Amino acid sequence: MHLSSSAILIAVFFVQGLAFYTMSVSILIAARPRAALAIARHLWLLAAFGFVHSAAAWVELAQQTLPADGTLVDLIQPIPTAAMAVCSVFLAQFGANVVGSLKPNYRWVRPLPLVLFLWAAVPATFVAVQGEWFPIGGLVIAEAIARYIVYLPAALLSALAFYLQGKVRAFDRLPNLRRDCRLAAITFALYGVTGGILVPTSILFWSETTGGAPPSAIAQLPVQVVRLLLAPVIAWVVVRTLQIFELEHLLEVEDLNRQLQRLTRSAVTAQEEERRRISLELHDDTAQLLSSLLVRLKLLQGVQNLQDLGTRCTELMNLASEATESIRRMATQLRPVALDDLGLVAAIQWYIERFTKREGLQIQLKASGCADRIDPETELVVYRIVQESLRNVAKHAQASTVVISLERVDNKLKVTIKDDGIGFDPMAVRRSDTAGMGILGMSERAALVGGTVNIRSQQGSGTTVRVEIPLPAKTPAEAKEMIAT
């Protein structure tokens, strides 16, 4: 049977449509809302290309099966050409976005699909409308223009995108995925050649070098059969490359494991540091006070007059008071008593007063809608986050003033700690094995009560820590009591 027969064309269009439709559905099923790898973020464009391409193929299939002189055929005749142009733009945008993401120096290619589309739209529209001026149909020439100017660069851009993505170091974990990306690059390049150059028309520049014969005839290739073979291969290869989401999952698990190890190490280190600090305070402060108290009690045995006895008793009382204060200070550092007795705002104010005396910072506390107590766990989380933030300010920020605001709005507790220090790069700190532990610790504490921590900072512009924690809604009785008071 001749390759240009209606039966061959029906088979070609049916297989093309089914292959690209299957590819697109597979992409949508496997896609994830958030993706780190460049190609995974832009696969939706490849899915859109597949859907439009399959629609164009099935419309052409309908043209082959409907009566040639029917009205419906005339109505749907422009659809495949328009669909080819649109799906080419989706394919080109996919390739341009991936290439621009992987190669920052080539970000200029991102608007290229729109430029190509506009460049092809004017002559293609003209020849489509004025088709009777040409020896063959205007729509055929319009489609050829779209294939030359848009479809060919689109397929080559996508081939380059798959090739570059396959070279990413993360793909070392899945060698098969690297191979599939290279195979996808080859198949897209071949499909671009057969779909963008080997077109059945001699009107374009090929006619000047081929004696008027169309390029498909010069190549002596059964183009429709080649496309019939390549379409399912492209779909199969793209579906195989969806392992990229498995790689994303693997990378996320590895990152979470690293964070867990860092957090565990940080917790153990913090525990040991706290023990060391308490040990030093007990040894250097409390133990010395008790030793001094013991020495003076022994000296008290040798007192022979009432005046010396009164002096010794005064000294003993002062030492006992200092020892008591030292123990109380250590107990407060371990668990702030004011937090349990007076509430969050009072406890933070108490901590600020002592922190200001020690570090010399100017700290302002603003509280709104926080008169009512909240659950103890949330209060402790907010207190520790404020505590950690102020420690970071004193240690790293070189700031002079800090403003802390607590606001309860719409069943949310919003906490903001803003300083006028030198700032830093939050992403660089998070990637650090040690420096990012404070930030990670605050995020983990907030997550325990369903909250979030957002840190914004720039070099020379200070740092702002924003915390949002959901609170349970007030019951009608509590709301009524609050209004009454």
> Which of 111-120, 281-290, 377-386 is predicted least confidently?
281-290
395, pLDDT greater than 70: yes
Residues 6+ apart with CB under 8 A from 343: 373, 379
Choose among 435, 482, 13: nearest CA to 224: 13
The confidence score (pLDDT) of residue 234 equals 85
Average pLDDT value for the chain: 76
Domain 6-242 has CATH 3.30.420: no
Report which of 162, 184, 185, 153 is spatially closest to residue 40, judged by C-alpha positions: 162
Nearest-angstrom CA–CA distance, 455 and 415: 12
Tens digits of per-residue pLDDT, 252-261? 777 777 777 7
Least confident of 38-47, 215-224, 379-388: 215-224
**Which tokens go with 324?**
């008591």
Is residue 382 within 8 A of residue 339, CB to CB? The reply is no
pLDDT tens digits, 4-27: 456 777 777 888 888 889 988 988
Phi-psi region of 403 (alpha: psi -120 to 50; beta: other; left: phi over 0): beta
> How far does the chain reach from its first CA to its final CA, in angstroms?
93
What pLDDT was estimated at residue 86? 85
- Choose between 153 and 51: higher pLDDT: 51
Average pLDDT (209-217) is 44
Domain range annotation of the chain: 6-242, 265-334, 337-484
Q: What is the reported pLDDT for 135?
A: 42
Query: What's the average model confidence in pLDDT over 39-55?
Result: 87
DSSP state of 33: S
Tokens standing for 87?
Answer: 């799906």
pLDDT digits (tens, 9 = 90+) for 307-334: 777 777 887 788 787 777 777 777 666 6
Residue 117 pLDDT? 75
pLDDT of residue 296: 74
E strand intervals along 240-291: none
In the numeric block, the tokens 């609170």 are attached to 471
Q: What's domain 337-484's architecture?
A: 2-Layer Sandwich (3.30)
More confident residue, 140 or 397: 397
pTM: 0.52
DSSP codes joined into one string, 280-317: HHIIIIIHHHHHHHHHHHHHHTT--SHHHHHHHHHHHH
Could you tell me if residue 372 is left (phi over 0), alpha (psi between -120 and 50 degrees) or otherwise beta?
A: beta
Instruction: Output the CA–CA distances (angstroms, integers) from residue 97 to 90, 103, 138, 290, in the order listed.
Output: 10, 10, 33, 71
Band (479; pLDDT cuts 50, 70, 90): very low
Backbone angles phi, psi at 199, to 5 degrees: -110, 150
pLDDT of residue 483: 40
Q: What's the pLDDT tens digit per position in 157-204? A: 889 988 888 887 766 667 777 888 888 889 888 888 776 565 554 445
Predicted local confidence at residue 106, as pLDDT: 80
- Asked if 394 and 359 touch (Cβ cutoff 8 Å), the reply is yes
Q: Mean pLDDT over residues 83-93, rounded?
A: 86
Of 242-246, 263-267, 362-366, 470-474, give the lowest mean pLDDT range.
263-267
Task: Please tell me the predicted confidence (pLDDT) of residue 217.
Answer: 47
pLDDT at 469: 92
Q: Rounded mean pLDDT of 32-58?
A: 82
- pLDDT in the model for residue 132: 44
At 343, the pLDDT band (50, 70, 90 cuts) reads confident
